Amino acid sequence: MARTRILAPIAILAATGCGGNGNAPAQLEDPVPNLDGGIARQWQARPTLVQSLRLLNPGLRQGDTLKLESTIRNVSNQPVDLSYVVCELDIEGELQTMAPLILCFAYSVTGTLAPGEQVTGHLQRVVTSPPGRYTISIRHLLDPAVWVPAELTVHPR
């Protein structure tokens, strides 16, 4: 599987019993991490998995394509079974976007990550919201369902 480099500094957030209820991991630092700088933010999604989220195009403006990247990495010394989104990351929140007209024939996959292995997912949507500060939640990991909260700014044209 492809390896990606996680940029520092990162906001480390602790794991909680995220079970199937779709709750976000507990947070130790920023109440809601800011993605505006393009720096990867990191969460302990499960005791064996770390998830990072990064805005690939800082300086986002209305009409631009929002480009997010999420990586889930096995940080244990044992293989880990997991289910995750493969087509396009799930997004919820205040930010209004327009989905692309591309159809995907798979939504998720269940598999095993070897120690140190990672999987990466992306989201690309056109931003239709007016300029402002927005809170979003992104889901990449499905079992347990982990919704990662974050904030970003849409700048005026």
8-38 per-position pLDDT tens digit: 232 333 333 333 334 455 444 456 889 999 9
Q: For residue 6, tell me if it sits in a domain.
A: no
Q: For residue 97, tell me if it sits in a domain.
A: yes
Q: Residues 31-51: what's their mean pLDDT?
A: 91
Return the minimum-mean-pLDDT range out of 28-32, 67-71, 116-120, 136-140.
Answer: 28-32
pLDDT score for 39: 94
pLDDT band at 100 (very low <50, low <70, confident <90, very high): confident
CATH for 86: 2.60.40.10
pLDDT score for 11: 31
Buried b (16+ CB within 10 A) or exposed e, 95-112: bebeeeeeeeeeeeeeee
Question: What six digits make up the tokens of 50?
Answer: 């770390």
Q: For residue 62, tell me if it sits in a domain.
A: yes
**SS3 label, residue 78:** coil
- What domain count does the chain have? 1
Q: For residue 94, tell me if it sits in a domain.
A: yes
Q: What is the DSSP string of 92-140?
A: EES--EE--S---S--EEEEEE-TT-EEEEEEEEEE-SPSEEEEEEEEE
Say yes or no to pLDDT of 40 above 60. Answer: yes
Q: For residue 7, tell me if it sits in a domain.
A: no
Question: What six digits make up the tokens of 23?
Answer: 């709750």
* Residue among 152, 144, 151, 109 nearest 24 (CA): 144
pLDDT score for 12: 30
Q: For residue 143, tell me if it sits in a domain.
A: yes
Q: What angle do CA 118, 123, 129 make, to 5 degrees?
A: 150
Q: For residue 133, tell me if it sits in a domain.
A: yes
Q: Residue 84's domain spans which residues?
A: 12-154
Report the percent of the chain where pLDDT is more than 90. Answer: 66
Average pLDDT in the chain: 82
Residues whose CB is less than 8 angstroms from the CB of residue 70 and which lie 6 or more positions away in sequence, other chains included: 51, 52, 53, 54, 89, 120, 121, 122, 123, 138, 140, 148
Q: For residue 5, tell me if it sits in a domain.
A: no
What is this structure's pTM?
A: 0.78
